[in-house]
Amino acid sequence: MKFINSEGKGRQLAAYQTYANNPNYLKIEMAENLKVTKEDVMRVYNTYIKGKFAVS
């Protein structure tokens, strides 16, 4: 996640406080994101995307 300025960082902290009741939820969210494996991504792709119609 990239913060452009202090306003952006403030908004993100406020959003975490509002929705997760924890302004430091970024650490938890990042840890969860880092658990995703290539196999997870491919399983989801094959289940929900592969062979489906798309608008380009």
Asked if 5 and 14 count as a contact pair (C-beta separation under 8 A), the reply is no
The percentage of residues in the chain with a pLDDT greater than 70, rounded to a whole number, is 93
Number of residues assigned to the chain: 56
Rounded Cα distance between 8 and 16, Å, is: 12
Q: pLDDT-derived band of residue 3, with 50, 70 and 90 as boundaries?
A: low
What phi and psi values does residue 2 have, to the nearest 5 degrees? -115, 130
Name the residue type at position 41: V
What type of residue is 19? Y
pLDDT in tens, 10-33: 898 999 999 999 999 989 999 999
> Residues 31-52: pLDDT tens digits?
999 999 999 999 999 999 999 9
pLDDT of residue 8: 86
